[in-house]
Copies of this chain bind each other. A is one copy, B any other.
Amino acid sequence: MDIEKPASAQQSVQPAIILVRPQLGENIGKAARAMLNFGLTEMRLVAPRDGWPNPMAGPAASGADQILAEAKLFDNVADAVADITHVYATTVRKRGIDKPVFTPQEAAYQIHAQPGKSAILFGAERSGLETEEVGYARSIITVPINPEFGSLNLAQAVIICAYEWSKNQSLSMPPSVDMLDAAPQGEFEGMIGHLFEILKEKDYFFPPERSEVTKNTLRNLLTKPSWNSQEIRTLRGVFSTFGKSKQSPRN
């Protein structure tokens, strides 16, 4: 059994699989196995509940130990996606977040076709991704499952995304040269942090207990357009101007 790889096909950059607050080491191992089955090798872990490394992960990986050994550990989603251009969040619940929703198949096409590195976020086993974590994503991936049953576990969600990616390996397209690439998420975070700082100084976040919700709203809004690095520099120039001005931003 061979994976078909036409000699002419340009291999696209493979997406990172990011497990956010995974609970069981066994599930981390199963996810690694699911990845390697379909040729994905880059795993990132955000704050695994039982620490890392986890002795339960290896046996469940059934030979995909190298994925676990090379997995990168992060404290939070922001750091884990700092170098990623296209962040996808897998979620089954509608969260009132106005982001484009794609099937694993559609996302796989995009990951191959678009220049820049992609990553797919998977939430904790029971709770999934928090609204704030979804905020780091440009797009949502929803696996269309039986609405009357729907209990896809972590490794199952990973395997379906990895499977769809592997199917389209031969479809990857050369990067477009006429357009600047969308900026990686770290640049967005720099810009968003910059904005939050200025807004805080201006007492924008009021009442204080609403500030996290407001920040989420802003992050979602700002992450959406996939601005390129130049556009982000321009926007930060705008924000800096707000920060400096003692007058209304309108002037």
- A interface vs B, CB < 8 Å? 1-4, 33-34, 36-39, 62-64, 92-94, 103, 105, 142-147, 149-153, 156, 159-160, 163, 166-167
Contact of A38 among B63, B94, B145 (CB under 8 A): B145
| Bound Cα distance from A2 to B147, whole angstroms | 6
> A142 CA to B143 CA in the complex, in Å?
22
The residue from B2, B92, B149, B152 contacting A64, defined by CB atoms under 8 A apart: B149
Contact of A145 among B1, B4, B147, B156 (CB under 8 A): B1
With A144-B166, A159-B159, A167-B144: A37-B152 Cβ-Cβ less than 8 Å: yes
Copies per assembly: 2
Minimum Cβ distance to chain B for residue A129 (Å): 14
Contact indicator A151/B1 (Cβ below 8 Å): no
Q: Tell me whether A146 and B105 are in contact (CB under 8 A).
A: no
Q: Chain B contacts of A151 at CB under 8 A?
A: 33, 37, 62-63
- State in angstroms the CA–CA spacing of A34 and B143 once bound together: 13
Q: Among the listed B38, B150, B153, B156, which residue makes an inter-chain contact with A146, where contact means beta carbons less than 8 Å apart?
A: B38
Task: Report the 7 A-B pairs with minimum CB-CB distance, sorted nearest first.
Answer: A36-B149, A39-B146, A37-B145, A1-B92, A1-B142, A3-B144, A62-B151
Would you call B37 and A3 a contact (CB within 8 A)? no
Question: How many angstroms between the C-alpha atoms of A97 and B37 in the bound complex?
Answer: 25
Q: Which residues of B contact A156 (CB under 8 A)?
A: 34, 37, 156, 159
Q: Taking A62-B151, A63-B151, A167-B105 as contacts, is the C-beta distance between A146 and B36 under 8 angstroms?
A: yes
Inter-chain CA distance A192–B147, complex, in Å, is 43
Cβ–Cβ contact A146 & B4, under 8 A: no
Chain B residues with CB under 8 Å of A93's CB are: 1
Report Cα–Cα, A214/B140, bound state, in Å.
Answer: 54
Chain B residues whose C-beta falls within 8 Å of the C-beta of A37 in the assembled complex: 145-146, 149-152, 156
Asked whether B1 lies within 8 Å of A144 as measured between CB atoms, the reply is yes
Query: Chain B residues with Cβ under 8 A from A34's Cβ?
Result: 156
CA gap between A142 and B2 in the complex, in Å: 10
A-B contact pairs, 8 of them (CB 8 A): A1-B94, A1-B147, A33-B151, A37-B145, A62-B153, A103-B167, A143-B163, A163-B163
CA of A151 to CA of B34 in the docked complex: distance in angstroms? 9
User: Which of chain B's residues has its CB closest to A146's CB?
Assistant: B39
In the assembled complex, the CB of A159 is this many whole angstroms from the nearest CB of chain B, namely 6
Given A105-B167, A159-B159, A159-B160, A147:B62 Cβ within 8 A = no
